[in-house]
Amino acid sequence: MTEKERTEFKKFAAEEIAALETEIPRLAELVKPVAPDNAIGRISRMDNIVNQSVAEAQLSKARVRLARLREAVKRADDDEEFGLCMDCGEPIPMARLKAMPETGYCVDCAE
């Protein structure tokens, strides 16, 4: 991975991390249970339960993604081999690294 690519990846990751750091508290707020004495009807209560489970799924995905991005940034800083396939040593395409920052393998070797 060239310096330029490393910088590009780190910039991408930093932006995504910042977005997730905004998104996670927002989702966490949605996941909070609504107090039963809140005067909402049965239908909207059911709506609310559906929305809550959607938010919960998004929240756990966002947390995993955030952890993986942070880990990848650390590796981009510390590991000379970052961005190279751990199996064949070929560079992992940037698009793949961005989509799956946790990956250590190129598409061929991951299969």
Sites of contact with Zn ion (CB under 5 A): 85, 87-88, 106, 109
108, burial (CB in 10 Å: exposed 0-12, middle 13-18, buried 19+): exposed
Residue 45 or 89: which CB sits closer to Zn ion? 89
Instruction: Tell me the torsion sign for CA atoms 5, 8, 12, 18.
Output: positive
Residue 49 or 88: which CB sits closer to Zn ion? 88
Minimum Å gap between C-beta 72 and Zn ion is 17
84, burial (CB in 10 Å: exposed 0-12, middle 13-18, buried 19+): middle
Minimum Å gap between C-beta 65 and Zn ion is 23
Residue 70 or 104: which CB sits closer to Zn ion? 104
Residue 29 or 90: which CB sits closer to Zn ion? 90
Minimum Å gap between C-beta 102 and Zn ion is 15
Q: Which residues contact 4 (CB under 8 A, 6 or more apart)?
A: none
- CA gap 43, 54 in Å, rounded: 17
Minimum Å gap between C-beta 62 and Zn ion is 29
